Amino acid sequence: MCSICEIKNHSMQFKDTFCKIFNTTHPIIQAPMFGVSTPEMTASAAKAGCLGSLALADLSAEKSVELIQKTKKMTNQHFAVNIFVHQIPEITDELKLQYFKTKKFIEEFAQENNIETNLSNLEEIKINSYHEQIDAAISENCKILSFTFGNLDQQSIEKLKENGTVLIGTCTSVEEALELEKSGINIVCVQGIEAGGHRGSFVSKNIPQIGGFSLLSQVYDSVKVPLIYAGGIYNGKTLKASQELGAQGFQVGSLLLASQESALQDFEKERLKKVKEKEIVLTKSFSGRYARGIRNKFIEHLENSDYILPYPYQNKLTGEMRRMARTAKNAEFVNLWVGQSIVDYSELSTQDILERLIKEYSESI
């Protein structure tokens, strides 16, 4: 039995919750990091006895099915599929004008820095609804679905539960946790502000910037559903601390950024290994939603400007620029999401990194 599951916390046996629900050896979840995690990472996490996650973001149903099927060929274990359930802002005349100005501003700035890019016009952007992804997940008999940036509508919740799907929602406040629980979501993932990548906020634009352990403790006292904690877990001691505060599952992301299965390129991994704590910031510049990553020239130029569109339009607009920057190996114009817990960013396999984390936890107790 996993040593993590043997420890009692608040009189609960962990083996009766996550390991049983997910059919895993350990209650550890590989974070779904779109653009970083891969089917190979998902399968490698499963080899470690953990729950792998396949990030589908807002891909089309066809692409979602393709990635699900690819992952199934690599592992016979259960894995979670993760989708974005954000609200899509209405296209108004004001948004059209703002988009035109922002496109021109970013193109000119990129060209000044030797990145030739022709960004998409607003009418060329395709934004997919998460509903078609739900149908895709059901058609592929996916039994674990996690989501972020919002909450599923009630019809989707009922449809997924009829399929026997376990639902995992993301919260960044007590209010969001209560809303997820009230709507019937099975498990809540508590995301602290120190977590890398995008914040999963959805109730309000002014979500309190609460440290993860403080938030976890408050959510634990407020809801009855099982909790996953995400944000800053990088060794056995941080895992143990989140367990003591009520987490029954533990989501790990930044620790895997440079892993063998990561989609990051070598120049991005090298930048990660040089990062200093003062360089890690929350920014809307790349996507229009707050995300934590490494400050660079693009962030510095955009962050306090009038040229940030609401999500997902900013995210779609900057996509081609980021692709060109990666081709040019230019770290100043790509988003490198990372949490506040700076580590050595091992290039070992995801399996090896997670097994090392489990060993550290055992040694810490």
Domain, as residue range, for 221: 3-87+127-259+343-364
- Strand 12-13 relative to strand 8-9: parallel, antiparallel, unpaired? antiparallel
Q: Which pLDDT score, from 0 to 100, does residue 12 have?
A: 34
Residues 25, 153 within the same domain: yes
Residues 175, 246 within the same domain: yes
Task: List, for residues 288-317, the tens digit of each pLDDT value.
Answer: 999 999 999 999 999 989 999 999 999 999
Residues 219, 299 within the same domain: no
Picking from 53, 146, 88, the residue whose alpha carbon sits closest to that of residue 315 is 88
Q: Which amino acid is present at 359?
A: K
Establish whether the linkage from the previous residue to 32 is cis, with ω within 30° of 0: no
Alpha helices (H) in 171-312, listed in sequence order: 174-182, 212-222, 236-244, 266-273, 297-302
In a domain, 269, yes or no: no
In a domain, 268, yes or no: no
Give the number of other CB atoms < 10 A from CB of residue 179. 17
Give the integer Cα–Cα distance in Å for 313 and 311.
5
Q: Answer positive or negative: Cα dihedral of 272, 278, 279, 285.
A: positive
Give the integer Cα–Cα distance in Å for 52 and 188.
17
Task: List, for residues 163-174, the tens digit of each pLDDT value.
Answer: 999 999 999 999
Residues 217, 309 within the same domain: no
Task: List, for residues 153-165, the tens digit of each pLDDT value.
Answer: 999 999 999 999 9
Residues 58, 106 within the same domain: no
Q: Which pLDDT score, from 0 to 100, does residue 179 have?
A: 98
Picking from 181, 271, 233, the residue whose alpha carbon sits closest to that of residue 27 is 233
Residues 141, 67 within the same domain: yes
Residues 305, 351 within the same domain: no
Q: Which pLDDT score, from 0 to 100, does residue 209 have?
A: 85
> What CATH number is given to the structural domain containing 348?
3.20.20.70
Q: Is 179 helix (H, G, I), strand (E, B) or coil?
A: helix
Give the integer Cα–Cα distance in Å for 64 and 136.
7
Residues contacting 339, CB < 8 A, separation 6+: 194, 195, 196, 197, 231, 232, 253, 254, 280, 292
Alpha helices (H) in the chain, listed in sequence order: 3-6, 18-22, 39-47, 61-74, 93-112, 130-139, 154-162, 174-182, 212-222, 236-244, 266-273, 297-302, 313-327, 350-364
Give, for all 365 residues of the chain, the pLDDT tens digit: 565 665 444 323 444 578 989 999 999 999 999 999 999 999 999 999 999 999 999 999 999 999 999 999 999 999 999 999 988 899 999 999 999 999 999 999 999 999 988 899 999 998 988 999 999 999 999 999 999 999 999 999 999 999 999 999 999 999 999 999 999 999 999 999 999 999 999 986 777 788 999 999 999 999 999 999 999 999 999 999 999 999 999 999 999 999 999 999 999 999 999 999 999 999 999 999 999 999 999 999 999 899 999 999 999 999 999 999 999 999 999 999 999 999 999 999 999 999 999 999 988 87
In a domain, 264, yes or no: no
Residues 151, 232 within the same domain: yes
Share of the chain above pLDDT 70, in %: 95
Share of the chain above pLDDT 90, in %: 88
In a domain, 298, yes or no: yes
Residues 69, 114 within the same domain: no
Give the integer Cα–Cα distance in Å for 226 and 185.
10
Q: Which two tokens stand for residue 326?
A: 């990666």
Residues 199, 140 within the same domain: yes
Global pTM?
Answer: 0.94
Residues contacting 15, CB < 8 A, separation 6+: 1, 2, 5, 6
Give the integer Cα–Cα distance in Å for 110 and 353.
37
CA angle 212, 202, 335 (to 5 degrees): 70
Cβ 337 vs Cβ 287: under 8 Å: no
The CA-atom distances, in angstroms, between 201 and each of 25, 134, 265 are: 30, 21, 29
Task: List, for residues 27-48, the tens digit of each pLDDT value.
Answer: 999 999 999 999 999 999 999 9
In a domain, 322, yes or no: yes
In a domain, 22, yes or no: yes
